[in-house]
């Protein structure tokens, strides 16, 4: 049987046991965040820089993230590459480390990422030593350009952000998994643990979940459910799912079990 104890995801020189990244927006109380982190087993937690304020402990989202986690600020609110770069630099100066999730969004209706500006920001920040994880619409050409730009991973959306609609971009994500040499992390849109498992079964390296956990009736229990689903999906991928066929195949012989008189 496959053993997950030695199965690590390596990004930016860090070996990660958990393949579930956790977002921190939309929780009814910040005090739920450390409980959700513990229940899920997440080791990478993303925060919006505008919610990081060392001067106000109660409102400083970073203070609720367990110290052993990797804090990954995102550039939420950036409308172009220049703004994303500025936010990333401010986050590093504020002591948030050198991991950054690039979000550049100019579309106010569907909140779809601007792939072109994201590539530009990735190139600049990677050259400055950041571990850059760009959030993009799944596109093979864009993903290849992000590889060239120095991205540490590529984070395609599964569905519009915050929609809980599931893995609507499945075939496009599958192409990225097959064609690019970086970890592919599904970010945005996953609404059920079963959808996280489905993504992991395809061979994605990890998933990032926020809304589906934070807005659940019991966020801590849902965090645990997603953690288990990600492990199950990863194990299924490593085990090698059986062949899919068009017609029925009996699992036992249909002849030779009755004597003919």
Do 10 and 51 form a contact (C-beta atoms < 8 A)?
no
What is the Rg, in whole angstroms, of the alpha carbon atoms belonging to the chain?
20
Catalytic residue flag (residue 15): no
Tokens of 97: 């480390």
**Residue of 26, 67, 101, 120 marked catalytic:** 101
DSSP string across 40-94: HT--EEEEEGGG--TT-TTT-GGGGS-TTSEEEEE-TT--SHHHHHHHHHHHHHT
Q: Which residues are catalytic?
A: 101
């Amino acid at each position: 049987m496959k053993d997950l104890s030695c199965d690590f995801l390596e990004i930016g020189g860090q070996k990660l046991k958990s393949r579930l990244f956790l977002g921190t927006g939309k929780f009814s109380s910040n005090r739920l965040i450390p409980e959700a982190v513990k229940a899920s087993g997440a080791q990478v937690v993303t925060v919006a820089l505008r919610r990081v304020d060392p001067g106000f402990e109660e409102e400083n989202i970073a203070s609720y993230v367990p110290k052993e986690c990797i804090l990954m600020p995102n550039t939420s609110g950036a409308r172009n590459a220049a703004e994303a770069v500025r936010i990333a630099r401010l986050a590093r100066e504020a002591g948030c480390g050198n991991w950054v999730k690039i979000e550049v969004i100019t579309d106010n209706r569907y909140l779809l990422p601007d792939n072109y500006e994201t590539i530009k920001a990735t190139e600049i920040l990677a050259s400055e030593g950041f571990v850059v994880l760009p959030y993009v619409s799944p596109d093979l050409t864009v993903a290849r350009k992000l590889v060239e730009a120095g991205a540490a991973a590529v984070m395609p959306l599964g569905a519009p952000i915050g929609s809980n609609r599931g893995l609507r971009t499945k075939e496009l994500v599958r192409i990225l998994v097959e064609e690019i040499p970086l970890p592919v992390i599904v970010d945005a849109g996953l609404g059920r643990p079963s959808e996280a498992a489905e993504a992991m079964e395809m061979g994605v390296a990890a998933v990032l979940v926020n809304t589906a956990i934070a807005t659940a009736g019991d966020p801590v229990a849902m965090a645990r459910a997603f953690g288990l689903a990600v492990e199950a999906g990863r194990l299924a991928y490593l085990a090698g799912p059986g062949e899919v066929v068009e017609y029925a195949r009996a699992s036992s012989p249909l002849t030779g079990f009755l004597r003919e008189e």
